[in-house]
Amino acid sequence: MYKVLKKDGSLQDFDWKKIVVVAVKAGASQEEAGKVAMEAERWLNSVAADGVVKSYDLHVKVLEVLKGVNGAAGSAFEAYRKPDPMTE
Protein backbone atom coordinates (compact mmCIF):
# COMPACT_ATOMS: atom_id res chain seq x y z
CA MET A 1 0.00 0.00 0.00
CA TYR A 2 1.30 3.41 -0.94
CA LYS A 3 1.27 6.40 1.38
CA VAL A 4 0.81 10.04 0.40
CA LEU A 5 2.85 12.62 2.31
CA LYS A 6 0.57 15.61 2.84
CA LYS A 7 1.68 19.26 3.09
CA ASP A 8 1.21 19.17 6.86
CA GLY A 9 3.60 16.23 7.16
CA SER A 10 0.94 13.60 7.82
CA LEU A 11 0.75 10.34 5.88
CA GLN A 12 -2.43 9.10 4.26
CA ASP A 13 -3.14 5.85 2.44
CA PHE A 14 -3.20 6.22 -1.33
CA ASP A 15 -6.78 5.86 -2.52
CA TRP A 16 -7.29 5.73 -6.27
CA LYS A 17 -11.03 6.30 -5.73
CA LYS A 18 -10.23 9.86 -4.63
CA ILE A 19 -8.58 10.46 -8.00
CA VAL A 20 -11.67 9.15 -9.78
CA VAL A 21 -13.89 11.49 -7.75
CA VAL A 22 -11.84 14.63 -8.42
CA ALA A 23 -11.45 13.78 -12.11
CA VAL A 24 -15.22 13.34 -12.50
CA LYS A 25 -15.85 16.58 -10.60
CA ALA A 26 -13.46 18.29 -13.03
CA GLY A 27 -15.55 17.04 -15.97
CA ALA A 28 -14.05 13.70 -16.95
CA SER A 29 -16.28 10.73 -17.67
CA GLN A 30 -16.21 7.80 -15.26
CA GLU A 31 -14.17 5.83 -17.81
CA GLU A 32 -11.67 8.66 -18.30
CA ALA A 33 -11.36 9.11 -14.54
CA GLY A 34 -10.66 5.40 -14.12
CA LYS A 35 -7.88 5.62 -16.71
CA VAL A 36 -6.34 8.56 -14.87
CA ALA A 37 -6.42 6.70 -11.54
CA MET A 38 -4.93 3.54 -13.04
CA GLU A 39 -2.14 5.50 -14.72
CA ALA A 40 -1.38 7.36 -11.48
CA GLU A 41 -1.16 4.09 -9.57
CA ARG A 42 1.09 2.59 -12.27
CA TRP A 43 3.30 5.67 -12.01
CA LEU A 44 3.55 5.18 -8.24
CA ASN A 45 5.15 1.78 -8.82
CA SER A 46 8.16 3.48 -10.37
CA VAL A 47 8.54 6.62 -8.26
CA ALA A 48 7.28 6.03 -4.72
CA ALA A 49 10.44 5.84 -2.62
CA ASP A 50 9.79 3.39 0.20
CA GLY A 51 6.11 3.42 -0.79
CA VAL A 52 5.70 7.16 -0.10
CA VAL A 53 4.91 9.93 -2.58
CA LYS A 54 4.48 13.65 -1.94
CA SER A 55 0.94 14.92 -2.47
CA TYR A 56 2.26 17.66 -4.76
CA ASP A 57 4.00 15.13 -7.02
CA LEU A 58 0.83 13.04 -7.19
CA HIS A 59 -1.20 16.15 -8.00
CA VAL A 60 1.16 17.05 -10.86
CA LYS A 61 0.95 13.51 -12.29
CA VAL A 62 -2.85 13.40 -12.07
CA LEU A 63 -3.02 16.78 -13.82
CA GLU A 64 -0.67 15.61 -16.59
CA VAL A 65 -2.63 12.41 -17.23
CA LEU A 66 -6.02 14.11 -16.97
CA LYS A 67 -5.01 16.76 -19.51
CA GLY A 68 -3.99 13.97 -21.87
CA VAL A 69 -7.29 12.13 -21.44
CA ASN A 70 -9.64 15.13 -21.34
CA GLY A 71 -8.11 18.56 -21.87
CA ALA A 72 -11.12 20.50 -20.59
CA ALA A 73 -11.29 18.44 -17.39
CA GLY A 74 -7.53 18.88 -16.95
CA SER A 75 -7.89 22.64 -17.22
CA ALA A 76 -10.75 22.62 -14.71
CA PHE A 77 -8.68 20.50 -12.31
CA GLU A 78 -5.73 22.84 -12.71
CA ALA A 79 -7.87 25.93 -12.06
CA TYR A 80 -9.25 24.54 -8.79
CA ARG A 81 -7.13 25.23 -5.73
CA LYS A 82 -8.04 24.24 -2.20
CA PRO A 83 -7.79 27.15 0.21
CA ASP A 84 -4.66 26.88 2.32
CA PRO A 85 -5.75 27.01 5.97
CA MET A 86 -2.28 28.26 6.93
CA THR A 87 -2.79 31.49 4.95
CA GLU A 88 -6.33 32.28 6.01
Q: Say what the pLDDT of residue 80 is.
A: 81
Residue range(s) defining the domain that contains residue 45: 3-79
17: in domain: yes
In the chain, the number of structural domains is 1
Contact (Cβ atoms closer than 8 angstroms) between residue 40 and residue 19: yes
In a domain, 55, yes or no: yes
pLDDT above 50 for 87: no
Domain presence at residue 40: yes
Using alpha carbons, list the distances in angstroms from residue 37 to 11, 69, 84, 85.
19, 11, 25, 27
Residue 45 lies in a domain: yes
| Domain presence at residue 48 | yes
pTM: 0.85
pLDDT in tens, 8-62: 999 999 999 999 999 999 999 999 999 999 999 999 988 887 899 999 999 999 9
Whole-number pLDDT of residue 49: 72
pLDDT at 86 exceeding the cut of 60: no
Inside any domain, residue 86: no
Is residue 88 a part of any domain in this protein? no
3-state secondary structure string across 24-62: HHHCCCHHHHHHHHHHHHHHHHHHCECCEEEHHHHHHHH
* Comparison of pLDDT for 46 and 87, the residue scoring more: 46
Task: For residue 18, tell me if it sits in a domain.
Answer: yes
